[in-house]
């Protein structure tokens, strides 16, 4: 996803450690070969942020890049089930990195990588560095988060890494943080059953205020449908409206707007925790009405032709 984030300036604090995350960072270089890392994105195979990350990781790990052959922002968790996919070996933008492009979605890229190129498995999946924040509700349509989710489904520690900028993005701090998080995987300080959604403000490392362990913010806006005509028929564009964020302390958007890095642990359970009390009382009535309507139906489902 791509939109700009306004940052509230505060006096900088020297980031000598990772506050509030519980992660103990060791700055010793990774021993070569200790980790095998799959790198992907939703910005496409030639995206600058992904290659800067891959270059940094390569200094201490075995890196394989498998990414969509074109930009796939907003693809979410889409998987191609109704047409074949193609995987192309490519000349890497960074020497020594095995590289493939996929004619498919970000999720397709991770699935193909783990099912073909990396059948022996990997130690870590990192998707990014995305040009644009992936915050709050937008994680549900983010191709970056969607790709990382596929690694999570395979029981692999997975990270979605984004910078809150849509132009002139500063990727350097995000790349270094990606390396530090890889250290934590090597040290087994990060559990295997975790998906981290990491967002950085678009600032130089020395101006970042710290790191927050966060939850997803809530936002609301109405997407706008614009109508056009190409001379033969109508067409429509879906245009993202201006978001209205619920910026509470402790949320990912609060952290980024205050110049801090947000690390939000995610999972695959989308069940609403706070279920309205009256909802449970509604269910018996729904069931009774469904049975009543079923008794009035002209025939049973299993008697229908073709079943």
pLDDT of residue 8: 45
Q: What are phi and psi of 167, to 5 degrees?
A: -155, 155
Can you tell me which residue has the tokens 């040009």? 131
SS3 173: helix
CA distance 185 to 156: 10
The model's pTM: 0.80
CA distance 189 to 185: 6
User: Is the confidence at residue 9, as pLDDT, over 50?
Assistant: no
User: Is the confidence at residue 23, as pLDDT, over 60?
Assistant: no
Which of 24-33, 235-244, 269-278 bottoms out in mean pLDDT, i.e. has the lowest?
24-33
Residue 271, preceding bond cis, omega within 30 degrees? no
CA distance 223 to 238: 7
Condensed to tens digits (0 to 9), the pLDDT of residues 67-122 reads: 999 888 877 777 888 889 999 999 999 999 999 999 999 999 999 999 999 999 99
pLDDT of residue 225: 82
User: Is the confidence at residue 137, as pLDDT, over 80?
Assistant: yes
pLDDT of residue 229: 87
CA distance 247 to 232: 45
Condensed to tens digits (0 to 9), the pLDDT of residues 246-261 reads: 788 999 999 999 999 9
User: Is the confidence at residue 161, as pLDDT, over 50?
Assistant: yes
What is the rounded average pLDDT for all residues in the chain?
83
pLDDT of residue 40: 97
Assess contact for 8 and 259: CB atoms under 8 A. yes
Assess contact for 19 and 211: CB atoms under 8 A. yes
CA distance 39 to 43: 12
CA distance 196 to 114: 19
SS3 202: coil
Assess contact for 250 and 215: CB atoms under 8 A. yes
Greatest CA separation for the chain = 74
User: Is the confidence at residue 306, as pLDDT, over 60?
Assistant: no
CA distance 125 to 118: 12
Q: What order of strands is seen across the sheet that includes strand 158-164? A: 87-90, 98-102, 62-68, 36-40, 124-131, 158-164, 195-201, 261-266, 211-213
Domain 36-266 part of CATH 3.40.640.10: no
pLDDT of residue 295: 80
CA distance 129 to 175: 7
- pLDDT (average), residues 130-140: 91
SS3 175: helix
| Domain limits, the chain | 36-266
Condensed to tens digits (0 to 9), the pLDDT of residues 194-239 reads: 899 999 999 999 999 999 999 999 876 666 788 888 888 888 877 7
Question: Which carries the bigger pLDDT value, residue 219 or residue 175?
Answer: 175
């Amino acid at each position: 996803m791509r939109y700009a984030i306004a940052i509230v300036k505060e006096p900088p604090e020297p980031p000598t450690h990772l506050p509030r995350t519980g992660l103990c960072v060791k700055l010793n270089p990774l021993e070569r070969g200790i980790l095998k890392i799959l790198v992907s994105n939703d910005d496409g195979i030639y995206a600058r942020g992904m290659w800067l990350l891959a270059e940094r990781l390569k200094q201490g790990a075995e890196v394989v890049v498998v990414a969509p052959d074109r930009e796939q922002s907003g693809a979410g968790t889409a998987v191609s089930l109704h047409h074949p996919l193609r995987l192309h070996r490519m000349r890497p933008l960074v020497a020594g990195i095995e590289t493939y492009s996929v004619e498919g979605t970000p999720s397709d890229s991770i699935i193909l990588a783990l099912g073909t190129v990396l059948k022996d498995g990997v130690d870590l999946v990192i998707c990014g560095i995305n040009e644009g924040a992936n915050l709050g509700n937008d994680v549900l349509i983010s191709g970056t988060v969607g790709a990382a989710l596929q690694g999570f489904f395979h029981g692999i520690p997975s990270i979605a890494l984004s910078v809150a900028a849509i132009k002139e993005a500063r990727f350097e701090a995000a790349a270094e943080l990606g390396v530090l998080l890889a250290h934590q995987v090597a040290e087994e300080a990060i559990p295997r059953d975790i998906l981290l959604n990491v967002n950085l403000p678009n600032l130089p490392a020395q101006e970042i205020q710290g790191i927050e362990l966060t939850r997803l913010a809530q936002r609301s806006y109405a997407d706008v449908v614009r109508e056009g005509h190409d001379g033969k028929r109508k067409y429509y564009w879906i245009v993202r409206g201006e978001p209205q964020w619920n910026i509470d302390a402790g949320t990912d958007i609060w952290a980024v707007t205050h110049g801090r890095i947000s690390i939000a642990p995610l999972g695959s359970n989308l069940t609403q925790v706070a279920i309205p009390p009256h909802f449970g009382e509604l269910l018996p009535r729904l069931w009774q009405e469904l049975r009543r309507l079923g008794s009035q139906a002209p025939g049973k489902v299993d008697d229908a032709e073709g079943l």
